Amino acid sequence: SSELTQDPAVSVALGQTVRITCQGDSLRSYYASWYQQKPGQAPVLVIYGKNNRPSGIPDRFSGSSSGNTASLTITGAQAEDEADYYCNSRDSSGNHPFGGGTKLTVL
């Protein structure tokens, strides 16, 4: 299957840790990449590969993977982390589907 499933919404208290998950069969073979999108803005890459952060992404963002589930963890969530988060991966047919997205609210 090329589908990636995400929880529609997650909330976290300011300064606490939150994990956003992405499930799909393709994740057993391919790593996920994660994108942050704030209202009216283009998505921004925050994690790719095993646990790689592009330059400029705070180290409170980290990634992990186990079986058919990839996770994005924010350790010590900040108000500016409130955004939509999308996962993406490759499947065995060469397609690159996105997950449906998770809306993160920082309380």
Partner 1 sequence: QLQLQESGPGLVKPSETLSLTCTVSGGSISSSSYYWGWIRQPPGKGLEWIGSIYYSGSTYYNPSLKSRVTISVDTSKNQFSLKLSSVTAADTAVYYCARHRSDSSSIFWFDPWGQGTLVTVSS
Q: Which is nearer to partner 1, 14 or 28 (CB)?
A: 28
- In angstroms, how far apart are the furthest CA atoms of the chain? 41
Euclidean distance between CA atoms 94 and 11, whole angstroms: 33
Q: How many chain residues bind partner 1 (CB under 8 A)?
A: 27
Q: Which of 17, 95, 105, 107 binds partner 1 (CB under 8 A)?
A: 95
φ, ψ dihedrals at 14, nearest 5°: -55, 130
Residue list 8-47, contact with partner 1 (CB under 8 A):
29-31, 33, 35, 37, 42-45
Euclidean distance between CA atoms 28 and 31, whole angstroms: 8
User: Coil, strand, or helix at residue 58?
Assistant: coil
Q: Which of 24, 63, 89, 106 binds partner 1 (CB under 8 A)?
A: 89
Structure tokens at 93: 């047919």
User: Which residues here bind partner 1, judged by CB under 8 A?
Assistant: 29-31, 33, 35, 37, 42-45, 48-50, 54, 86, 88-90, 93-101
